[in-house]
A = this chain, B = another copy of it.
Amino acid sequence: MDDDALRRGKPASHVKFDEATAILAGDALQAAAFEALARTPDRSLVAPMILSLAKGAGAQGMVGGQQIDLAPAGDVHEIHRMKTAALFEASTRLGALAAGSPRVEALGRYGLRLGLAFQAVDDILDASERGRRNFAAMHGVERAKGRAAREGAAAKAAIRFLGPRGERLRGIVDFILSRKH
């Protein structure tokens, strides 16, 4: 929808194939994602997993955020939360559910804050290119850096209960905060 010809340095689907194929691939992959969750061996997990993914992907999450992003008056915080962070949140909730963790909400919060940190850094890296929707372009790189650091700290705080077992999840926060491209 941003009509970029490249995605992570490779030709975007709608350029390499065509628009119809790109749309259909998205539709097919969405159905395949729900299908994969429905094949979870522990059947009691299927409904909560589907609900987590539907919330992160649908009108309350990524799709809703993209729609708000198309509107002239879309709020940058709401866009970041829905379009980016809701799917991070769903991802970590799904991992927590699959692992049988009793702390699904806390691990979901970790994902949400990680997603907000990711988007803040993304805006800093893209500050020169984009406009209206870019927090760093709107409020300056220094404020965006402060924001990224706060979200990263909140992500780590959400998984404090893991103690030493949270090392890898904290490492992901540091990786996201320090990425340069």
| Chain A residues packing against B (C-beta within 8 Å) | 1, 20-21, 23-24, 26-28, 30-32, 34-35, 37-40, 43-44, 46-47, 50-51, 53-55, 57-59, 63-64, 66-67, 70
Contact flag A31-B54 (CB < 8 Å), given A23-B23, A63-B24: yes
Contact flag A67-B34 (CB < 8 Å), given A43-B43, A44-B43, A46-B47: no
Closest Cβ–Cβ distance, residue A93 to chain B (whole Å): 14
Closest Cβ–Cβ distance, residue A62 to chain B (whole Å): 8
Number of this chain's copies in the assembly equals 2
Can you list 27 contacts pairing A with B, beta carbon distance less than 8 Å? A20-B67, A21-B67, A24-B63, A24-B67, A27-B27, A28-B58, A28-B67, A30-B30, A31-B53, A31-B54, A31-B57, A31-B59, A31-B63, A32-B54, A32-B58, A32-B59, A34-B34, A34-B53, A34-B54, A35-B50, A35-B51, A38-B54, A39-B51, A43-B43, A43-B47, A46-B46, A50-B50
